[in-house]
A and B are shown apart, each in its own frame.
Chain A
Amino acid sequence: MKLGLASTTVMIAALSATTLSADTLRLLTWGGYAPEDVIAMFEAETGHTVEVTTSNNEEMIAKLRATNGGGFDLAQPSQDRIAGAQEEFGIYKPIDMSRIDAAQFIPSMLAATAANSTYEGEVYGLPHVWGTSGLVVNTAEAPQVTDYTDLCDDSVAGSVSYRLKRPTLIGFGYSMGLDPFAAYADIDAYQAILDEVEAALIACKPNVKTYWDGGDEIKNLLRSGEVVAAMAWDTGGWQLNADNADITFVAPEAGALGWIDTFVLPARGRADDAAYDWINFVMRPEIASMITNAAGNFTAAVNGDVDVSADLKARYQASFDQAAIDNIKWYPPVPAGLEALEGAALDRINASN
């Protein structure tokens, strides 16, 4: 009992000591971006503790909106969802560039993300992980699928899948010879594109097995062979490729859609010190490699591929030659209000028979 009391006292003393110098970092991120081993190394080095909540773009913004930017200290939405969300809801606070080790970031990505996430002269986002959406195809069953609209081909009827979300609208738009990103600023032109894509997706609906929702769901459908071609993320395709050599990610002819997930500071975050520590920590080349190995996507860290497994590099190179990389369509910032138009179109597609 005496020993118990003593150890408890020591523990309480230790706990109160750490709370003086360290914070709890409440991180709102995607699955795979904060692997256990990285968190353990970070906690050992800085004394901060990390609490991870995994989510997606829409839920991140919805969560922060519900609390006016509270409840989390660091979030990771995609770079196109920062300026618009800040304009509408004011849920982020500006990044203090002097606290960032900018040399750890690939300069072109840092500059591009800063430009896209600037609102009223302040920068709100730093690049972290990037990747693409395109096609994941079982090349033994459906080698003819090389572009988004090929998913509507009769030869793959009943065994394709895609999400009922905005990337699908945009991917199909490009595949149909339209240019949705160029029309972002012009509501009427964008609505015209949406109308065309909506008609195509309604016509395509009988071909679809189901609209997938989560990364695990689409991997499951492809692995079981129930789905032979899908619009999905590159990393899912490469993970499946490890189990089944026939399935892999294919960069569509119309161009893969490129996204960059970022670091942003929620407006009412309480542990900015820990947040900056985390950013500078995970952008180190060896840590960035660990995250790439866990998440399957490459990072914006200089030399971030130093320890990345040779298999993953090979898969990436097999999916992307230089022409395919040059053809990636990077998401520009979404103007506020555009989602309402897309939402109405998606609702109508969902309701059609």
Chain B
Amino acid sequence: MTDKSKLGFYLLLMPLLLWLITLIILPHIGLFMVSISEKIGVRQYETGLGNYAVFFNEPLYWRTFARTAFMSIFTTVLTLVLGFPVAYYIAKLTRGRTKTTLFLMCLIPFWVSELVRTFGWMILLRETGVLSNFLQYTGVIGGPVEFLYNDGAIMVGLVYTSILFMIVPLVTTLDSLDDSLIEAGYDLGGSGYSIMREIVIPHAMPGIVSGCIVVFMLSLGNYLTPILLGGKDSLWFTGLIYTQFITRFNWELGSAFGFLLLALSSTIVFLGLKLSRQSLSDTMGR
């Protein structure tokens, strides 16, 4: 390499390095230092892993984490089941303008902020809301029904906020599948089911896995949707972190929770990759 191209290389590398170091690595080191300092009195701290022990000793906290993880996994599955037919239709059954229009229609809700979308669901689902009034009007139910403030409402909100991140990678991978492969499958006497299983899904696997990883992480790290739609049953791990930091003034425990969330969610993603026999470089590198 000449000196000049070396300079160019480092200049191009600079933004990435700045981003990684100042916005990701340094804050995490700071957070870690806070998480290993135990409070023993007013303005007195000592180094130790006590904050991490709290998570494992208090059933409330790890149960909340388990609940958050299971609901996020369920959201991911639900998003895949709903998103796959949509993506397949867009990628394989439409052409040209229709395709662009349909794709755009999936995008449009994401032009407004997540907060507004969540409030939209609150207007629909609340006791005096659109859905309850409509069902009363049509005579399906006798009195007002509360659809908000339960786990179902949280699921609806999470699927809605994350489905785009499933559809986009799926459309991309399905697009790259040559139609002649599917035709060949039919010529060789395959049924719709066997073609889906033997040709389409294996080809779409990287898209499925990368979509699942993104949706899972988005749901696990979501704060607004579970808190607003879940009401009194809105126990969510990010909510616990928020309360530790803001209302309890307990930054030490909050930081430890943050690290545990990072570690545990990475473990779950790792297990998911192992189970689906995919590697991270395969799914994300394409």
Contacts and interface: CB of A to CB of B under 8 A. Distances in A.
Partners in one complex: yes
B232 interface: yes
A226 B248 contact: no
User: Which of A61, A210, A348, A353 has the most CB atoms of chain B within a 10 A radius of its CB?
Assistant: A210
Interface residues on A, range: 20 to 34
B246 A62 contact: yes
Interface residues of B, number: 25
Interface in A328-353: 336-337, 339-340, 343, 346-348, 350-351, 353
Given A340-B248, A351-B60, A351-B235, A210 B149 contact: yes
Interface string B245-267: 11111110000000000000000
Given A348-B60, A351-B64, A339 B249 contact: yes
A226 B243 contact: no
B168 interface: no
Contacts of A38: none
A270 interface: no
A249 B143 CA distance: 28
B188 interface: no
B128 A226 contact: yes
Contacts of B43: 87-88, 90
Interface string A124-135: 000000000000
Interface string A35-59: 0000000000000000000000011
A211 interface: yes
B31 to A, nearest CB: 13
Contacts of B175: none
B214 interface: no
A347 B243 contact: yes
Contacts of B60: 347-348, 351
B240 interface: yes
B236 to A, nearest CB: 10
A210 B63 contact: no
B250 A340 contact: yes
Interface in B201-253: 231-233, 235, 240, 243-251
A58 B244 CA distance: 11
- Which 6 pairs between the two chains have the least Cβ-Cβ distance? A210-B231, A343-B248, A58-B247, A224-B128, A226-B127, A62-B246
19 contacts: A58-B247, A59-B246, A61-B249, A65-B249, A65-B251, A87-B42, A88-B42, A209-B231, A209-B232, A210-B149, A211-B231, A224-B126, A226-B146, A337-B42, A339-B249, A343-B247, A347-B60, A350-B232, A351-B63
